C-alpha cells in the first residue's frame, strides 16, 4: 500500500447516474489529489432514475476491507450516502480509531421526507456518528431530522447549527438548501458565527447537487483552502453547475465547471 496519505471517499456507486462516488472520484482526479474510492453499496441506478432498482448490499465486504485497512492512515475521510444502519455501525467502529478529519454528508432526506427505505432508525444511527465528525453538511431536511425541530427562520437556523456542532467532534456545520429572498445556498458556522453563501435560485431541480457541493468542500479543504473559502467556492461552483447543466439532464453535470475548477487550482485562494 502507498505510504502517501490519501482522502478516503466512501459512498454509494450507481451504475446508471452521474452522482455520488462518481462525482467525487472525477473531481479529485481532475484536481490531481490522491484519493481512494470505496463503494458502500451498489445500485443499478440511483433512485432518482428508478425507485425499484437491483441493489447489492456490501456490508460484509466493507467490514473486511476496513479490517484490512486497520493500519492505513488517511489524510481525511469523506462519507456520503451509507444506506443502512448496519453500514453506519461499521463506520462508527472504524471512525472510533481514525486519527484524521472526517466529513459527513448525512444523505438521507429531501423535501421534508426520508429517502425510500429509510426510517427513524437510520436517523438515530447517523446521530451516533456525529461524535466522530469534524465537518457536517446536511440539507435543511436532514438537519431537521437530526435536531428534531423545524427550521423556519434565522433563530431556528442558528439554533440548529449550534445544536449540531455541540454533538460533533469538530464544529464546522453547513446546512444547505437554505432559501432566502429568491436566493438559495447554505448557512454555516465559521468560528461559532453564522454566515451564509447565497446565489439567485435556478428554477430547476437536479439530482446530485448536494453530492457535488460536499465533494467540492472536501476537495477545497484537501487543497488547503480555509473553511469559509471552501464553502463559498463550493456554493459558487455548484450554482454554476446547476445553471450550465443541459436542460435534458436529470443529474447535475460537472463538465461545465472544470475550467473554473482548474482556474482556482492555478490561482490564489484564501
Residue 3 pLDDT greater than 70, yes or no: no
Please give the pLDDT value at position 209.
92
Please give the pLDDT value at position 48.
66
Answer yes or no: is 268 within a domain: no
Average pLDDT of the residues of the chain: 93
* Residue 102: domain span: 6-263
**Sheet architecture: strand order including 55-57:** 55-57, 35-45, 6-16, 74-79, 102-104, 135-136, 172-180, 183-190, 193-200
Please give the pLDDT value at position 53.
82
Q: What is the CATH number of the domain that holds 80?
A: 3.40.1190.20
pTM of the model: 0.95
Residue 268 pLDDT greater than 80, yes or no: no
Answer yes or no: is 269 within a domain: no
Question: What is the average pLDDT across 69-92?
Answer: 96
Answer yes or no: is 270 within a domain: no
Residue 267 pLDDT greater than 90, yes or no: no
Answer yes or no: is 21 within a domain: yes
Cα–Cα distance measured from residue 161 to residue 175, given in angstroms and rounded to the nearest whole number: 7
Please give the pLDDT value at position 202.
85
Residue 148 pLDDT greater than 60, yes or no: yes
The answer to whether 40 and 10 have CB atoms below 8 angstroms apart is: yes
Please count the other Cβ atoms lying within 10 Å of the Cβ belonging to residue 144.
19
Write the CB contacts of 214 (distance below 8 Å, at least 6 apart in sequence).
78, 80, 103, 105, 137, 234
Please give the pLDDT value at position 208.
86
pLDDT more than 70, % of the chain: 96
Answer yes or no: is 238 within a domain: yes
Q: Which of 1-10, 27-36, 57-66, 110-119 has the lowest mean pLDDT?
A: 1-10
Please give the pLDDT value at position 19.
81
Please give the pLDDT value at position 206.
87
Answer yes or no: is 221 within a domain: yes
Please give the pLDDT value at position 46.
72
Q: Which of 61-65, 82-86, 178-182, 204-208 has the lowest mean pLDDT?
A: 204-208
User: Where do runs of H (alpha helix) occur along 148-183?
Assistant: 154-167
The more confident residue out of 3 and 210 is 210
Residue located via cell numbers 453500514: 87
Structural domain total, the chain: 1
Q: Mind listing the pLDDT tens digit for each residue in 19-72? A: 899 999 999 999 999 999 999 999 887 776 666 788 899 999 999 999 999 889
Please give the pLDDT value at position 1.
58
Amino acid at each position: 500500500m502507498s505510504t502517501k496519505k490519501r482522502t478516503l471517499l466512501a459512498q454509494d456507486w450507481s451504475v446508471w447516474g452521474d452522482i455520488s462516488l462518481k462525482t467525487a472520484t472525477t473531481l479529485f482526479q481532475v484536481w490531481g489529489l490522491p484519493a481512494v474510492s470505496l463503494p458502500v453499496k451498489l445500485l443499478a441506478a440511483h433512485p432518482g432514475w428508478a425507485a425499484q432498482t437491483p441493489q447489492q448490499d456490501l456490508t460484509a465486504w466493507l467490514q473486511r476491507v476496513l479490517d484490512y485497512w486497520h493500519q492505513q492512515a488517511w489524510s481525511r475521510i469523506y462519507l456520503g450516502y451509507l444506506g443502512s444502519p448496519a453500514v453506519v455501525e461499521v463506520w462508527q467502529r472504524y471512525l472510533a480509531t481514525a486519527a484524521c478529519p472526517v466529513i459527513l454528508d448525512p444523505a438521507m432526506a429531501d423535501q421534508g421526507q426520508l429517502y425510500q427505505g429509510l426510517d427513524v432508525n437510520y436517523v438515530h444511527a447517523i446521530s451516533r456518528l456525529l461524535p466522530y465528525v469534524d465537518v457536517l453538511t446536511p440539507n435543511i431536511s436532514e438537519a431537521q431530522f437530526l435536531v428534531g425541530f423545524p427550521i423556519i427562520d434565522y433563530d431556528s437556523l442558528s439554533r440548529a447549527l449550534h445544536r449540531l456542532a455541540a454533538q460533533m467532534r469538530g464544529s464546522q456545520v453547513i446546512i444547505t438548501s437554505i432559501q432566502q429572498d429568491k436566493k438559495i445556498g447554505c448557512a454555516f458556522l465559521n468560528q461559532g458565527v453564522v454566515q451564509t453563501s447565497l446565489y439567485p435560485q435556478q428554477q430547476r431541480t437536479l439530482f446530485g447537487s448536494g453530492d457535488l457541493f460536499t465533494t467540492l468542500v472536501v476537495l477545497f479543504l484537501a487543497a488547503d483552502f480555509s473553511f469559509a473559502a471552501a464553502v463559498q467556492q463550493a456554493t459558487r461552483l455548484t450554482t454554476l453547475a446547476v445553471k450550465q447543466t443541459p436542460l435534458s439532464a436529470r443529474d447535475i453535470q460537472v463538465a461545465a465547471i472544470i475550467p473554473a475548477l482548474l482556474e482556482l487550482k492555478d490561482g490564489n485562494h484564501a
